A and B are shown apart, each in its own frame.
Chain A
Amino acid sequence: MTVTILFLGPLRDLAESPTLEVEAPLDWSGLLEAVGPQVAEQLGEQRVNVACAGKVLADKTQLHAGHGDEVALLPPVSGG
């Protein structure tokens, strides 16, 4: 019963590894606890989004990830 947390872009450098497996279910406070203080601080910023099971959450604090879900942490983007 696990949730995979995926660190994208610059958040990957703050995390110890690109992905992290945690126990399901996972909510917002569980996420903040799991990712460590540096990434948790970034998650507090409005510009950092969270996707669960391939959908960007309108309100990331309402995260509710179940077994098999992937939770992606999405820092500000830069394309082109």
Chain B
Amino acid sequence: MARLTIDTPLDVRLLDKGLSVGEALAAFNAAHGEAGGVVSFLGKVRPDGDVRALDLSHYEPLTLPGMRELAAAARDRFALDGALVWHRVGVMMPGEAIVLVATAARHRRDAFGAADYLMDHLKSAAWLWKRERRADGWRWIEPRGQDREDIARWE
């Protein structure tokens, strides 16, 4: 298997199929040998309730460019060596990964802060639309009040 190559300092991707978390984090860690710490967050389709599937749609001209701008903003705001921002699109099953964020910094607080910042913005400011399928069919998901409060913390 070809080794995964990570772009530095920022590796931002939209993925239309499953991602290998262990491989991604190992490659990210290897790409940032100078970092004193790496923080990662993996968001998954919550395997509870009667959610059968999740479908994420995007808009090509905006979604990836917007994610790149977000990653650059995180790098400016925190003293990051680098960041990995990967988001799935398409149909996912419960337990599957939706989003993987990793941040590398000299010091842990920057890495934690940047991962938190990236996730809050991906939840409610990235050009992505989520719907879930339950027993009664597909339903679009709107950002919750909590998501808006989370992003407001950074203003």
Across the interface, name the chain A residue whose C-beta is closest to B98: A80
Residue in B closest to A54 when the chains form the complex, CB atoms: B61
B62 in complex: contacting residue of A9, A13, A56, A78, CB < 8 Å: A56
Asked whether B149 is an interface residue with its Cβ less than 8 Å from the other chain, the reply is no
With A79-B99, A80-B98 known as contacts, the answer to whether A74 contacts B124 (CB < 8 A) is no
Residue B4 interfacial (CB < 8 Å): no
A30 at the A/B interface (Cβ < 8 Å)?
A: no
- Sorting the interface of chain A by its residue count into under 10, 10 to 19, 20 to 34 or 35 or more gives 10 to 19
A-B contact number at CB 8 A: 60
Bound together, the chains give a CA A72 to CA B63 distance in angstroms of 12
- For the complex, count residues of B whose C-beta is within 8 A of A: 25
Contacts A10-B140, A13-B140; A78 near B130 (Cβ below 8 A):
yes
In the assembled complex, 27 residue pairs joining A and B whose CB atoms fall closer than 8 Å, in A order, are: A8-B59, A9-B57, A9-B140, A10-B129, A10-B140, A51-B61, A51-B62, A54-B62, A74-B59, A74-B127, A75-B129, A76-B142, A76-B143, A77-B125, A77-B127, A77-B128, A77-B129, A78-B123, A78-B124, A78-B128, A79-B56, A79-B87, A79-B99, A79-B123, A79-B128, A80-B98, A80-B99
